[in-house]
C-alpha cells in the first residue's frame, strides 16, 4: 500500500514539473521583454548558461522558441513571414521562425521574447553563426563565436591531458576569458568567480542527473520515452542549466526513474519494441509522430538527439570547483566535441547504444531543415547495418516545415517497418536453435 501511494506521488512528476518550469521560464522571458532587458541568446550545443547566469542575463534559446512554434502548430505563419522577407525555403526552419519572431517584436506563442544584448554561438553548427549574424545586423549587438575544435576524424578525439587536447583546451580557455570581458562590458557587472562556482555546482548535478536518467532507460520496460518524455527533460536540461531549479529537477527525475526501474514501471505504452531514434523529431506533428510508433508498442529507449541537443551533458561531466575556469573550458570542449561526434561520427556510439539498450530497431529521421544532423545519416545507417543485424527505418521529413511532412506516407513506411519487425520476431521464434 505504501508503495502504491509513493508511486502515485512520484510517477509522472518529471513531465509535470518540466512543463511547469517551461511555463515559468517563458513567463520570466516575457517579463524581461516587457522591462526592456536585453537577453543572452544561446544555442543548445555549448550554451554556456553556467557562465552567463553570473551576469544575470535572461537566457533565450532561439532553437527552443522555434520548435515550440512548431509544436504549437503556428510554425507555418512564421516560416512564411521569413520567406516573404527574403529567406529561402531551403534553409533552416528554426532560423526562419526566429527571424519572424524578431520581426514581430518578440511575439511568440509562449510569451514575449526579449531582444538580444549578446549572443554566443559555438561552431557546433555552422547555422548558429549565420543565425547570429542576422541578430548582429538587426540589433548591432555583439555576437561571440566560441570556437570549439571537434574530433579531427572518426575515433580521433584527443584524450584529456594529452598534448593535442591541451592545445584545444587552451584555445577554448582563452576565448572564455575574452567572453567574460565582453559579458562584463555588456552587462555592466563584474565577473564573480564564486558565483561561477555556484552555477557550475548546479550544472554538475544536472549533468550527473542527465547521464543517470539516460542509463536508467536501459531497464525493461523503458522508464521513459526518449522521443516524447525525453524532449521535455531535454528542454529543462538546456533552459535550466546551471540553475538551482535544473539541479533539483534532475535530482528528482533520477529518483522517479530509479523508482520506476526498481518496480518495473514503464511508459503508458505496452512496450513491444525497443527503438533508438537518430535525428531530430518531427515537431510539426509531434504528438502524432510519436503515436505512429507507440500505437505499435514502439518505445524509444534512447536517441542521439538526447546527446547532441544536450550539448554533451550526457557525459555527466563534473566541473572541478577548485579551478572553475580551467574546468569550464575542459567541460565545454568535451561536451560540445561529444555533441559533434554524436552527429558526425556516431556509428560506434550507435552500435554501443543498440547493445546496451537491447534495441529491436533503429529509426533514422533526417530532416530538410538541418544538414548538420541529416547529411550523413544514410551512410551511418549503412555502416550500422554492416556491424549489427538490426532492422532500421529511414524516413525523411522536417522539424518545422509541414510542407515537407507527409503524414500518410510516413505512416505507410512506419507500419511496414513494424510489420517487418514482427515478421522477423516470428521467424526467429520459429527457427530451431
Sole window of 7-15, 64-72, 89-97, 188-196 interacting with other proteins (rule: CB under 8 A): 89-97
CA dihedral sign of residues 164, 167, 171, 173? positive
- By CB under 8 A, is residue 175 in contact with other proteins? yes
- By CB under 8 A, is residue 91 in contact with other proteins? yes
Q: From 414, 392, 422, 427, select the one nearest 295 (Cα to Cα).
A: 414
Sole window of 53-61, 138-146, 243-251, 415-423 interacting with other proteins (rule: CB under 8 A): 138-146
Q: Is 241 helix (H, G, I), strand (E, B) or coil?
A: coil
Q: Helices 75-85 and 62-71 meet at what angle, rounded to 10?
A: 120
Q: From 12, 11, 21, select the one nearest 246 (Cα to Cα).
A: 21
Record the cell numbers describing residue 55, joined without a space. 551576469
Q: Smallest gap, in angstroms, from Cβ of residue 137 to other proteins?
A: 7
Exactly one of 137, 188, 190, 431 binds other proteins (CB under 8 A); that residue is: 137
Q: Smallest gap, in angstroms, from Cβ of residue 44 to other proteins?
A: 15
Applying the rule CB under 8 A, the residues between 197 and 256 that interact with other proteins are none
Q: Smallest gap, in angstroms, from Cβ of residue 131 to other proteins?
A: 9
Q: From 376, 403, 367, select the one nearest 282 (Cα to Cα).
A: 367
**Pairing mode, if any, of strands 116-122 and 143-146?**
parallel
Applying the rule CB under 8 A, the residues between 398 and 417 that interact with other proteins are none
- By CB under 8 A, is residue 316 in contact with other proteins? no
- Which residues does 265 contact at the CB level (< 8 Å), separation at least 6? 7, 11, 221, 223, 259
Distance of alpha carbon 99 from alpha carbon 103, whole angstroms: 6
Total site size for other proteins, rule CB under 8 A: 58
- By CB under 8 A, is residue 344 in contact with other proteins? yes
Distance of alpha carbon 389 from alpha carbon 11, whole angstroms: 35
Q: Smallest gap, in angstroms, from Cβ of residue 263 to other proteins?
A: 41
Q: From 43, 39, 52, select the one nearest 196 (Cα to Cα).
A: 52
Distance of alpha carbon 324 from alpha carbon 329, whole angstroms: 9
- By CB under 8 A, is residue 87 in contact with other proteins? yes
Q: Smallest gap, in angstroms, from Cβ of residue 399 to other proteins?
A: 12
Sole window of 100-108, 140-148, 185-193, 214-222 interacting with other proteins (rule: CB under 8 A): 140-148
Sole window of 142-150, 190-198, 286-294, 352-360 interacting with other proteins (rule: CB under 8 A): 142-150
In Å, what is the CA distance from 74 to each residue of 10, 63, 283? 33, 15, 11
Nearer to other proteins by Cβ, of 168 and 229: the residue is 168
**Which runs of E-coded beta strand occur in 322-417?**
361-365, 392-394
Nearer to other proteins by Cβ, of 208 and 347: the residue is 347
Nearer to other proteins by Cβ, of 78 and 210: the residue is 78
- By CB under 8 A, is residue 51 in contact with other proteins? no
Record the cell numbers describing residue 280, joined without a space. 531530430
- By CB under 8 A, is residue 90 in contact with other proteins? yes
- By CB under 8 A, is residue 167 in contact with other proteins? yes
Exactly one of 20, 23, 170, 185 binds other proteins (CB under 8 A); that residue is: 170
**Which runs of E-coded beta strand occur in 91-157?**
107-108, 111-112, 116-122, 143-146
Applying the rule CB under 8 A, the residues between 96 and 135 that interact with other proteins are 123, 125-127, 129-130, 132-133
Nearer to other proteins by Cβ, of 142 and 246: the residue is 142
Applying the rule CB under 8 A, the residues between 357 and 386 that interact with other proteins are 366, 368, 370-372, 374-380, 382-383
Nearer to other proteins by Cβ, of 238 and 346: the residue is 346
Record the cell numbers describing residue 11, joined without a space. 510517477
Q: From 217, 228, 367, select the one nearest 290 (Cα to Cα).
A: 228
Exactly one of 59, 95, 236, 292 binds other proteins (CB under 8 A); that residue is: 95
Distance of alpha carbon 205 from alpha carbon 199, whole angstroms: 10
- By CB under 8 A, is residue 159 in contact with other proteins? no
**Pairing mode, if any, of strands 116-122 and 111-112?**
unpaired
Q: Smallest gap, in angstroms, from Cβ of residue 344 to other proteins?
A: 4
Give the footprint of other proteins on this chain (CB under 8 A): 85-88, 90-92, 95, 123, 125-127, 129-130, 132-133, 136-137, 143-147, 149-154, 156, 164, 167-168, 170-171, 174-175, 178, 340, 343-345, 347, 366, 368, 370-372, 374-380, 382-383, 396
Amino acid at each position: 500500500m505504501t508503495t502504491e501511494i509513493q508511486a502515485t506521488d512520484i510517477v509522472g512528476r518529471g513531465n509535470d514539473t518540466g512543463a511547469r518550469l517551461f511555463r515559468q521560464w517563458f513567463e520570466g522571458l516575457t517579463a524581461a521583454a516587457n522591462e526592456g532587458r536585453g537577453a543572452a541568446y544561446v544555442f543548445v550545443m555549448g550554451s554556456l548558461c553556467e557562465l552567463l547566469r553570473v551576469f544575470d542575463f535572461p537566457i533565450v534559446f532561439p532553437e527552443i522558441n522555434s520548435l515550440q512554434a512548431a509544436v504549437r502548430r503556428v510554425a507555418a505563419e512564421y516560416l512564411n513571414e521569413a520567406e516573404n522577407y527574403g529567406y529561402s525555403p531551403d534553409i533552416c526552419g528554426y532560423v526562419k521562425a526566429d527571424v519572424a519572431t524578431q520581426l514581430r517584436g518578440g511575439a511568440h506563442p509562449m510569451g514575449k521574447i526579449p531582444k538580444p544584448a549578446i549572443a554566443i554561438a559555438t561552431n557546433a553548427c555552422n547555422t548558429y553563426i549565420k543565425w547570429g549574424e542576422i541578430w548582429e545586423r538587426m540589433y548591432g549587438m555583439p555576437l561571440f563565436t566560441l570556437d570549439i575544435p571537434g574530433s579531427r576524424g572518426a575515433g580521433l578525439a584527443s584524450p584529456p591531458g594529452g598534448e593535442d587536447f591541451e592545445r584545444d583546451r587552451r584555445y577554448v580557455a582563452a576565448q572564455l576569458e575574452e567572453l567574460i570581458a565582453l559579458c562584463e562590458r555588456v552587462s555592466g557587472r563584474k565577473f564573480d568567480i564564486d558565483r561561477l562556482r555556484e552555477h557550475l555546482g548546479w550544472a554538475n548535478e544536472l549533468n550527473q542527473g542527465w547521464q543517470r536518467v539516460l542509463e536508467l532507460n536501459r531497464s525493461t520496460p523503458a522508464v521513459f520515452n526518449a522521443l516524447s518524455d525525453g524532449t521535455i527533460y531535454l528542454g529543462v536540461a538546456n533552459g535550466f542549466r546551471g540553475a538551482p531549479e535544473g539541479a533539483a529537477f534532475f535530482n528528482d527525475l533520477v529518483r522517479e526513474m530509479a523508482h520506476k526501474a526498481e518496480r518495473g514501471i514503464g511508459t503508458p505504452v505496452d512496450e513491444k519494441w525497443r527503438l533508438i531514434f537518430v535525428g531530430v523529431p518531427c515537431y510539426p506533428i509531434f504528438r502524432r509522430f510519436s503515436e505512429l510508433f507507440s500505437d505499435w508498442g514502439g518505445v524509444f529507449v534512447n536517441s542521439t538527439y538526447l546527446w547532441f541537443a544536450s550539448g554533451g551533458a550526457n557525459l555527466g561531466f563534473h566541473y572541478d570547483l577548485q579551478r572553475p575556469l580551467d574546468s569550464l573550458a575542459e567541460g565545454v570542449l568535451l561536451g560540445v566535441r561529444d555533441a559533434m561526434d554524436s552527429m558526425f561520427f556516431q556509428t560506434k556510439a550507435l552500435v554501443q547504444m543498440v547493445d546496451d539498450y537491447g534495441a529491436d530497431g533503429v529509426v533514422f529521421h533526417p530532416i530538410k531543415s538541418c544538414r548538420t544532423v541529416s547529411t550523413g545519416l544514410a551512410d551511418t545507417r549503412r555502416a550500422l547495418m554492416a556491424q549489427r543485424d538490426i532492422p532500421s527505418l529511414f524516413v525523411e521529413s522536417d522539424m518545422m516545415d509541414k510542407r515537407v511532412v507527409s503524414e500518410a506516407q510516413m505512416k505507410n513506411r512506419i507500419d511496414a517497418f513494424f510489420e517487418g519487425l514482427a515478421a522477423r520476431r516470428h521467424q526467429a521464434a520459429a527457427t530451431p536453435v
